[in-house]
Amino acid sequence: MAGGPSSSSVPSTPLLKDELDIVIPTIRNLDFLEMWRPFFQPYHLIIVQDGDPSKTIKVPEGFDYELYNRNDINRILGPKASCISFKDSACRCFGYMVSKKKYIYTIDDDCFVSFHLLSASIIFFSVAKDPSGKDINALEQHIKNLLTPSTPFFFNTLYDPFRDGADFVRGYPFSLREGVPTAVSHGLWLNIPDYDAPTQLVKPLERNTRYVDSVLTIPKGTLFPMCGMNLAFNRELIGPAMYFGLMGDGQPIGRYDDMWAGWCTKVICDHLGLGVKTGLPYIWHSKASNPFVNLKKEYNGIFWQEEIIPFFQSATIPKGCNTVQKCYIELSKQVREKLGKVDPYFNKLADAMVTWIESWDELNPLSESANSSANGPVKAK
Amino acid sequence: MSFVVEDNDVDIVIAALWPDLTALFEGWRPIFSRFHIIIIKDYDLEADLHIPPGFDHHIYTKSDIERVVGSTSINFSGHSCRYFGYLISSKKYVVSIDADCLPARDDEGRPIDAISQHIINLKTPATPFFFNTLYDPFREGTDFVRGYPFSLRTGVECVLSCGLWLNAADFDVPTQAVKPHEKNTRYVDAVLTVPLRTFMPVSGINIGFNRHVLGPVMLPAMRLDGEGKQRWGTMDDIWCGMCAKVVCDHLGLGAKTGMPYVWRVGGGNAWESLKKEWKGVKLMEEIVPFFQSVKLPRTVATAEDCVIQIAAMVRGRLGPVDEVFSRAADAMEEWLRIWKRVGSQGR
């Protein structure tokens, strides 16, 4: 049964400051870190500097960080650096690869601490309070999501049964109440919603003002569009699947990096019996992205996703694939075989997927065995 | 999208398990008073019902049920009496709310119109083929997110709307016994589509559905021995919900969950119920894998035919496990016979 002790004796969420890295891609500046200082300062940051490596990115005082620019990426990966995107925030996945921690939180450099109860008089750098009076701490909520089980095999109508004040409802089989380990925590955004370019063009003024006080497990067999703006994951459980693809400079597509990682990740999580949660926490998204620029980047993606989605919906991974890397290599073969005929880009992408895994294993030599033991036996379903 | 909920579109069905319904009707007056209300009196209730004036309603008793349905093996007592209401209604939409529920209230203390919310859920498309991270994209102020395929944005017809409960949540007996004081205070401002091939426990406490489509499927088949009047002892709704989801998935229709909320009074002593063997817990261990594995032939094209197929599978695969399943299969087939004769007249 979920829950347990009454709320007065529920332990507070561990900080995990030695187990979690925060990965931030940036091309402009890191001023936004000031807003996040109370929440981020205990943690180690991995900053992946995109674009011109000769530019100096100033990191605000007092943060513990490592910074990688393009020169560093080329130096560390050599020819394999070709799998890391250039001039696109997809480059962030390099940060996942070099991290040595168990958990990753990634956020964009134009996101701020969220509000609840929006009104015109609230100035944007106020930290909002949730209905119980507490400040919204996105990182704390992600950690809660990752440290509590997911329930992908049967939908609980009261959403995450492991949240305070919730539980499994009548009819929920007891054998499924233990849940499975949570690999991904997908947060959401208030203010500017994560719309594609056509929707942005049609609804330029729409703002997401609805705070939905819910975390839920995305059921097994269901795909979703994973947004990398406010995302946390268990690197030991699923890290190698979080490849953000080939985007940006020299590529025919952009703004599908996180989508690609999300679809691969969900298929692999479903196969390995791991969970993906979505919902809280919210962050405040104040993006200044140009919908016409976005449309050019997304253009191919809008057509290709009509092929990509059915591909992932029908993708099956053989039982013998019991590590994330094996699952991922298998997926890369299927991408080549089935999506290669949609566009030659997918052959390049399939190659890059293999290069990514090779790079990951090179930089993380013990991770293959760690994955096998962390994942446990493949759940037959 | 803005909606006008037509009075004539909807019947409200209430199962009367106790005689005094004053609190229920007064609590819902601003919301219920424009609709026709079908009240079914539990077989075992002898006292007359107290219903305050000002409501367009009709009360059906055991003798009405016997007159309309004739001799039947289906047991319409207790919480199952409401299925007679589903049968006798002639409307396109039915909303049923347990009699111990009152309207939830918004931040300003105004009662939330659960009926309209169910109808909005049923009149806007569902999106079962791909999960939208901003939940129901047809709600005002939201939309499909980046990465949602355009070909899937039309959605499908929603035929089932499952609402939730503040205060006394719909927990089972063990949970209720261990956490007698736990109240659901979290109002989640969302409606979302239950994805394809995903099952969930559908609670009959606060439910709306398209009767023209799902009428043959919303049936009183799963009845536990010694089932009493406590909600936590029932499984009729859970069973319906599993059948309904199979039908929706097979016919390309949708089911939503989330808002509306009702305020549920609940109550009762779960420890007393725990003393009896609570078979429902064990049965779910069989029920869930069974329904998850049901595959219907492509040629099956109507809800009735779906039910026929499911009943046969229940008899064949679950019947040997426990007699309650054979009885459920019989009840499903019996329901279809009754539905053909009585229920389908309402179209």
- Structure tokens that stand for A34 in this block: 């000031």
CA nearest B338: which of B346, B52, A354, A249?
B346
Q: What is the mean pLDDT of chain B?
A: 93
Between CA A27 and CA A253 the distance in angstroms is: 19
Which of these CATH numbers, 3.20.14, 3.30.1120, 3.90.550, 3.10.560, describes B7-346? 3.90.550
Alpha carbon dihedral A257, A260, A264, A267, in 10-degree steps, equals 130
DSSP code string of A17-30: TTTEEEEEEESS--
How far apart are the CA of A218 and the nearest CA of chain B, in angstroms? 8
Domain definitions of chain B by residue range: 7-346
**Does A380 fall in a domain?**
no
pLDDT confidence of residue B279: 81
In this structure, are residues A331 and A353 in contact, taking their beta carbons and an 8 Å threshold? yes
Mean predicted confidence (pLDDT) in B260-280: 80
Q: Which residue has the tokens 């701490």?
A: A137
Q: Which of A117, A163, A170, A205 to mutate to test the interface with B (most CBs of B within 10 A)?
A: A170
Whether the link from the prior residue into A281 is cis, omega within 30° of 0, is yes
Interface touch A158/B169, C-beta < 8 Å: yes
pTM of this structure: 0.92
pLDDT confidence of residue A130: 63
Residues 6+ apart with CB under 8 A from A40: A22, A33, A63, A139
DSSP code string of B129-170: TS--TTS-TTSTT--PPTT--GGGSS-B-EEEEEEEEEES--
DSSP state of A366: T
**Residue A222 is part of a domain; what is its CATH number?**
3.90.550
**Does A149 fall in a domain?**
yes
Ramachandran class of B48: left when φ > 0, alpha when ψ lies in -120 to 50, beta otherwise: beta
Interface touch A255/B146, C-beta < 8 Å: yes
**Does A27 fall in a domain?**
yes
Radius of gyration of chain A (CA): 20
pLDDT confidence of residue A132: 62
In this structure, are residues B187 and A158 in contact, taking their beta carbons and an 8 Å threshold? no
How far apart are the CA of A54 and the nearest CA of chain B, in angstroms? 33
pLDDT confidence of residue B166: 95
pLDDT confidence of residue A288: 54
DSSP state of A245: -
Q: Which chain B positions have a beta carbon within 8 Å of A3's beta carbon?
A: 179, 182
pLDDT confidence of residue A62: 94
Residue B296: how many CB atoms within 10 A of its CB? 18
pLDDT confidence of residue A134: 65
Which residue(s) pair with B96 in the sheet? B13, B207
CA nearest A230: which of A89, A136, A105?
A105
SS3 content of chain A, % helix, strand, coil (to 5): 40, 15, 45
Q: Which domain holds residue A278?
A: 7-362
pLDDT confidence of residue A261: 98
pLDDT confidence of residue B346: 55
pLDDT confidence of residue A118: 36
pLDDT by 10s per residue, chain A, length 381: 343 334 444 557 778 999 999 999 998 788 888 888 888 999 999 999 999 999 999 999 999 999 999 999 999 999 999 999 998 889 999 999 999 999 999 988 766 666 443 333 222 333 445 656 566 788 999 999 999 999 999 999 999 999 999 999 999 999 999 999 999 999 998 888 899 999 999 999 999 988 999 999 999 999 999 999 999 999 999 999 999 999 988 999 999 999 999 999 999 999 999 999 999 999 888 765 889 999 999 999 999 999 999 999 999 999 999 999 999 999 999 999 999 999 999 999 999 999 999 999 999 997 554 444 444 443 433
pLDDT confidence of residue A114: 60
Task: Name the residue among B133, B171, B196 with its Cβ closest to that of A188.
Answer: B133
How far apart are the CA of A29 and the nearest CA of chain B, in angstroms? 25
- Write down the number of H helices and E strands in chain B: 11, 9
Tens of pLDDT, residues B242-252: 999 999 999 99
**Does A130 fall in a domain?**
yes
Q: Which chain A positions have a beta carbon within 8 Å of B184's beta carbon?
A: 158, 165-166
Q: Which chain A positions have a beta carbon within 8 Å of B189's beta carbon?
A: 210-213
- Give the chain A residue nearest B177 (alpha carbons): A1
pLDDT confidence of residue B270: 76
pLDDT confidence of residue B4: 75
Task: Name the residue among A193, A213, A298 with its Cβ closest to that of B134.
Answer: A193
In this structure, are residues A216 and A84 in contact, taking their beta carbons and an 8 Å threshold? no
**Does A369 fall in a domain?**
no
DSSP code string of A104-151: EEEE-TTEEEPPSS--TTS-TTPPPB-TTS-B--HHHHHHHHHHS-B-
Mean predicted confidence (pLDDT) in B156-183: 92
- Structure tokens that stand for A157 in this block: 């109508």
Between CA A159 and CA A148 the distance in angstroms is: 13
- Structure tokens that stand for A46 in this block: 């991995």
Interface touch B198/A259, C-beta < 8 Å: no
- Structure tokens that stand for A20 in this block: 């979690």
Interface touch B195/A221, C-beta < 8 Å: yes
In this structure, are residues B161 and B38 in contact, taking their beta carbons and an 8 Å threshold? no
pLDDT confidence of residue B233: 82
Most confident of A276-290, B11-25, B68-82: B11-25
Alpha carbon dihedral A190, A194, A197, A198, in 10-degree steps, equals -80
Interface touch A278/B133, C-beta < 8 Å: yes
- Give the chain A residue nearest B192 (alpha carbons): A157
